[in-house]
Amino acid sequence: MRIFLLSLMMLVFLQAQGQHHKSYFPLWTYHQSDIRIYGVGVGWLPIYETVNTTTNGLRLEVPGPGLFLAFIPRAPWDTAHGHADPAPPKHKQPEKVNGLNLSALGSMCYRVNGISLGTIAQINWRVNGISVSGGMNLAEKHNGIQVAAMSLSEKMHGLQIGISVASEYMRGVQFGFMTSSKNTRGLQFGLWNVNEKRKLPIVNWNFRP
């Protein structure tokens, strides 16, 4: 009974939040701007018109765009000159997940603080935590552990694991059949490892500018 009353009071409190940030508990769709979901956020594809939407708990994307993401020709943040676009202002950022981001095929999300899982492919702009995908896993900035057949990151701090592993900027460790990094401070383990200093089989490294 106490748990029920506590949950009811929390629901009333969340619904009464300021008009600029509506809050929902325990289930809502993330296809809406300026909302906070406490519990489960549900949707079927990412909607890029939505901004300032946060899911605290579980973001469930069914089926997710993973099948299509596996065939994109380049990272969505690349410009014509090969550089990442500046991050949008905090109040205009698309979607954020604090918790678990889960998709049947693989998801596309702006920021994940926690764990992101998908079967085929996923693209996340910012990850603080763990992201795992069966096929391709692409991140602009990743802090933590990234795992996939193809693990690709613009800026990586942590551990990358896969068959093909690549980063523009890497601070940490790479494991794979083929690893590569253009700006490296760390270790690479694979059949063939490439960084800005040298190309070596089995083990490669760089700790200096």
Q: For residue range 12-69, what is the model confidence (pLDDT) as tens digits?
A: 444 444 446 799 999 999 988 999 999 999 998 766 667 889 999 999 998 888 777 7
For residue 182, pLDDT over 70 is answered with yes
What is the residue-wise DSSP string for 96-117?
A: EEEEEEEESS--EEEEEEEEEE
Instruction: Quote the mean pLDDT of the chain.
Output: 85
Task: Please report the pLDDT score of residue 73 as a whole number.
Answer: 65
Task: Please report the pLDDT score of residue 80 as a whole number.
Answer: 41
- Single-letter amino acid, residue 190: G
Task: Please report the pLDDT score of residue 77 as a whole number.
Answer: 61
Task: Please report the pLDDT score of residue 46 as a whole number.
Answer: 66
Q: What is the DSSP letter of 71?
A: T
Four-residue CA torsion sign, 26, 139, 178, 183: negative
pLDDT in tens, 32-47: 899 999 999 999 876 6
Name the maximum alpha-carbon separation found in the chain: 66
* DSSP SS3 for 9: helix
Could you give the angle at the alpha carbon of 54 between the alpha carbons of 142 and 111, nearest 5°?
A: 10
Task: Please report the pLDDT score of residue 16 as a whole number.
Answer: 43
| Alpha helices for 127-188 (secondary structure H) | none
pLDDT in tens, 80-117: 434 455 566 565 667 899 999 999 888 888 999 999 99
Report the C-alpha gap between 5 and 25 in whole angstroms.
Answer: 14
Task: Please report the pLDDT score of residue 65 as a whole number.
Answer: 81
pLDDT in tens, 125-152: 999 999 999 999 999 999 999 999 999 9
- Single-letter amino acid, residue 97: V
Could you give the angle at the alpha carbon of 103 between the alpha carbons of 54 and 124, nearest 5°?
A: 60
* DSSP SS3 for 8: helix
To the question of pTM greater than 0.85 for the whole model, the response is no
